[in-house]
Structure 1
Amino acid sequence: MRQSHTPAPETFALQYVNYHCTDRVASITLNRPEKRNALNYQMVTELKHAFDTAENDDECKVVILKATGQAFCAGADLEYLQQLKNNSYAENLEDSSHLMQLFYQIYTLKKVVIAQVSGPAIASGCGLATVCDFTYTVPSARFGYTEVKIGFLPAIVKVFLLRKIGEARSKELLLTGDLISAEKAKAFGLVNEVVPEDELDQAVRDLAQRLCVQNSGQAMEVTKEMIARVQELPLRDALEYAAERNALARATEDCQLGIQAFLDKQPMTW
Structure 2
Amino acid sequence: MTEPLVLYAVTDRIATITLNRPEKRNALNPELVALLTEKLTMAAAAPEVKIIILKANGNTFSAGADLAYLQQLQHYTFEENVADSNNLKNLFTTIYFCPKVIIAQVEGHAIAGGCGLATVCDFIFSVPEAQYGYTEVKLGFVPAIVSCFLMRKTSETIAKQILLTGDLFSAEKALAYGLINFVTNKEDIDLTTRNFALNLCNTTSANALKVTKQLIGRTTNPGLLESLDLAVKINAEVRESEDFKKGITSFLNKQKLNW
TM normalised by structure 2 equals 0.84
Matches within 5 A, 1:188-199: 188-199=177-188
Helix, strand or coil for the counterpart of 1:136? strand
Hey, what's the Cα distance between the residues in 1 that align with 2:214 and 2:3? 29
Hey, what's the Cα distance between the residues in 2 that align with 1:45 and 1:164? 25
Aligned to 1:119: 108
CA contact (8 A) 2:6 2:36 kept: yes
The Cα of 1:233 is off from its aligned counterpart by 5.1
Hey, what's the Cα distance between the residues in 2 that align with 1:202 and 1:170? 31
Aligned to 1:78: 67
Aligned to 2:211: 222
Higher relative contact order (CA 8 A, sep 6+): 2
Aligned to 1:94: 83
Aligned to 1:203: 192
Matches within 5 A, 1:1-270: 15-232=4-221
Hey, what's the Cα distance between the residues in 1 that align with 2:61 and 2:134? 14
CA contact (8 A) 2:110 2:118 kept: yes
Moved over 6 A (4+): none
The Cα of 1:167 is off from its aligned counterpart by 1.1
Hey, what's the Cα distance between the residues in 2 that align with 1:231 and 1:139? 29
The Cα of 1:44 is off from its aligned counterpart by 0.4
The Cα of 1:165 is off from its aligned counterpart by 1.0
- Where structure 1 has 5 or more consecutive residues not aligned to the other structure, the ranges are 1-12, 235-270
Hey, what's the Cα distance between the residues in 1 that align with 2:20 and 2:56? 6
Partner deviation per Cα, 1:163-189 (whole Å, 9 max, x = no partner)? 111211111100000000010100001
Helix, strand or coil for the counterpart of 1:219? helix
Hey, what's the Cα distance between the residues in 2 that align with 1:159 and 1:14? 33
Hey, what's the Cα distance between the residues in 1 that align with 2:200 and 2:10? 15
Helix, strand or coil for the counterpart of 1:76? coil
TM normalised by structure 1 equals 0.81
CA contact (8 A) 1:14 1:46 kept: no
Aligned to 2:228: none
Change in Cα spacing, 1:21 to 1:14, as seen in structure 2 (3 Å) is: farther
CA contact (8 A) 1:116 1:204 kept: yes
Aligned-residue identity in percent = 53
CA contact (8 A) 1:138 1:195 kept: yes
CA contact (8 A) 2:92 2:117 kept: yes
CA contact (8 A) 1:40 1:80 kept: yes
Which residue identity does 1:87 align to in structure 2?
Answer: Y
Hey, what's the Cα distance between the residues in 2 that align with 1:93 and 1:14? 30
Hey, what's the Cα distance between the residues in 2 that align with 1:217 and 1:130? 22
RMSD of the TM alignment (CA)?
1.3
- Where structure 2 has 5 or more consecutive residues not aligned to the other structure, the ranges are 224-259
CA contact (8 A) 1:25 1:63 kept: yes
Hey, what's the Cα distance between the residues in 2 that align with 1:233 and 1:190? 20
Which residue identity does 1:155 align to in structure 2?
Answer: A
Which residue identity does 2:82 align to in structure 1?
Answer: L
Change in Cα spacing, 1:233 to 1:72, as seen in structure 2 (3 Å) is: closer
The Cα of 1:43 is off from its aligned counterpart by 0.2
Change in Cα spacing, 1:232 to 1:121, as seen in structure 2 (3 Å) is: closer
